[in-house]
Amino acid sequence: GGRFKKEIVVDGQSYLLLIRDEGGPPELQFAAWVDAVVFVFSLEDEISFQTVYNYYLRLCSYRNTAEVPMVLVGTQGESRAPAPSHIPLALAGAL
């Protein structure tokens, strides 16, 4: 994992943007301080999606996720040709 921070200005107001790259499931302390979550998985690997789904469920056990904006991002390898997704859209939509 990694930690990144940058000062940004939105509508004239200065904010400190903190981004943490977590390599494992969310812990209680993490869930308590996050303002938003970006889940990233591989479109080519159903196990990576299942891992993200399990992380989501764990986060739900710590915090009301209706209060936390979340983004789900599917990535693919560096090939320029579109790769077939192994993740059913209905399953991704449920998350």
3-class secondary-structure state, position 18: strand
pTM for the whole structure: 0.73
Round to whole Å and give the CA distance between 76 and 24: 20
**Tokens standing for residue 52:** 């993200």
Per residue in 26-78, pLDDT (tens digit) is: 889 888 889 999 999 998 888 999 999 999 999 999 999 899 999 999 998 77
Residue of 68, 74, 4 whose CA lies nearest to 30:
68
**Tokens standing for residue 41:** 């998985």
Per residue in 7-33, pLDDT (tens digit) is: 999 999 999 988 888 878 888 988 888
Q: Report the chain's C-alpha Rg in angstroms.
A: 15
Domains of the chain, CATH where assigned: 24-94 (3.40.50.300)
